Structure 1
Amino acid sequence: MSKILQFLAALLCAAMLSSCAQKIDFKGTAIDDDSMGGNFSLTDHQGKPRKLDEFQGKVVALFFGYTHCPDVCPTTMLEYSSVMKQLGADGDKVQVLFVSVDPERDTPQILAGYVPHFDKRFIGLTGKPEQIEQVKKQYKVVAQKVPTPGGGYSVDHSAGSYLLDQKGKLRVFEAYGTPAANLAYDIRQLLR
């Protein structure tokens, strides 16, 4: 085979391979930052130690919030509940994880009364304050206590959620208020 034919054959193979590795078109913001994310260990709402990497094989929807949240958290959890219904049987290939940014109040018992209310498959996670701080850093989540009248507090926090693919790689940021149909679309892309 002449060098020109070898070159053309190699060029054709390269073109075919690049067409197979198409970029996924997400409705949310694609993340291509290997410095973000990663494995972590926290305690679930049944008191069981859980690691993020044990959910490999499923698409993970990761949301940071707290149970006393008056609006953002329940709204987001309701959106993911709607997503699970839209996905039908594929919902069993998805794991929604709610990570508390208020570990002082969000004990496993409190999470057990909150998180499964939205969908029995959802898992609430909490831990020691230093564990939560580490996970927040990994995912670039901001959360800060804000005193309220009467001596209580609320928590201002990042309001988006993340999608991780079936290999545990952080792939998509979903802004707060993303419609359930868009969330379901992006999850379906990751299930392909």
Structure 2
Amino acid sequence: MMRYILVGILALMVLAVGLLSFEWYRGQNQAVAFGAPFELVDDSGQPITEKAFQGRPTALFFGFTHCPDVCPTTLFEMEGWLDELGEEGEDLQAFFITVDPERDTPEVMKTYLGNFSDRVTGITGDPEKVAAMAKAFRIYSRKVELEDGDYTMDHTASVMLLDRNGDFFGTISYEENAETAVAKLRRLINEG
């Protein structure tokens, strides 16, 4: 009988050590930095920094104004999500960050975004600073030369969600179901 009690106690101790190890490991992975300080300009030519992503729930989309399909589709969907949220989404802010700052000046971005929404703010600036920001947010982008001498940009097509502290909250995939996207935004808005 005593032997079974000792085996039971030993099993509980092993389980407790395993759970503590798992929690420690999970905490270590959550400590990975996401984003970094930056100094760029918005689509009105005004300075903007990472502080703009704090204090309110935020949706970020990295793209470019010469994009033939992914960017206009995502911006159109984003406006639909904002409309669906209505007053509930008034605190949610949205940004479109260019991965093509050589062509996407503040004026170009302002005009382009005006075709989709008055609630999405464009961000652009020095190409090296834009590239550093994209890298800090783990965004893939690459210039692709075309046969006619022009170029396009390959880039991550997901919308990044940040909580009120500016920390990573989740993503909305390209062409994700609208109901699912709105549900994710509701969770983001209602978080803290």
What are the residue-to-residue correspondences of 1:24-173 with 2, within 5 Å? 32=30, 34-173=32-171
SS in 2 for 1:113: helix
Q: What is aligned with 1:10?
A: none
Residues 61-107 of structure 1, C-alpha deviation per residue, up to 9 Å, x if partnerless? Answer: 00100000000001111111000001101222111100000000000
- Asked if the contact 2:39–2:49 (Cα under 8 Å) also holds between the matched residues in 1, the reply is yes
- Which of 176, 181, 184 lines up with 2:182 in the alignment? 184
* Alpha-carbon shift at residue 174 of structure 1 (Å): 2.0
Q: What is aligned with 2:7?
A: none
In structure 2, C-alpha distance between the alignment counterparts of 1:166 and 1:175, rounded to whole Å:
21
* Alpha-carbon shift at residue 147 of structure 1 (Å): 1.1
Q: What is aligned with 1:25?
A: none
- Asked if the contact 1:99–1:125 (Cα under 8 Å) also holds between the matched residues in 2, the reply is yes
TM-score, normalising length: structure 2: 0.79
Percent identical among aligned pairs is 38
For residue 77 of structure 1, what is the amino acid of its counterpart? Answer: L
Structure 2, unaligned runs of 5 or more: 1-28
In structure 2, C-alpha distance between the alignment counterparts of 1:51 and 1:125, rounded to whole Å:
10
- Asked if the contact 2:58–2:164 (Cα under 8 Å) also holds between the matched residues in 1, the reply is yes
State the 4+ residue runs in structure 1 displaced beyond 4 angstroms: none
Pairwise CA RMSD of aligned residues? 1.6
SS in 1 for 2:59: strand
In structure 2, C-alpha distance between the alignment counterparts of 1:152 and 1:124, rounded to whole Å:
23
Name the CA shift for 1:117/1:39 in 2 (closer, same or farther; >3 Å): farther
For residue 112 of structure 1, what is the amino acid of its counterpart? Answer: K
Q: Which one has a bigger Cα radius of gyration?
A: 2
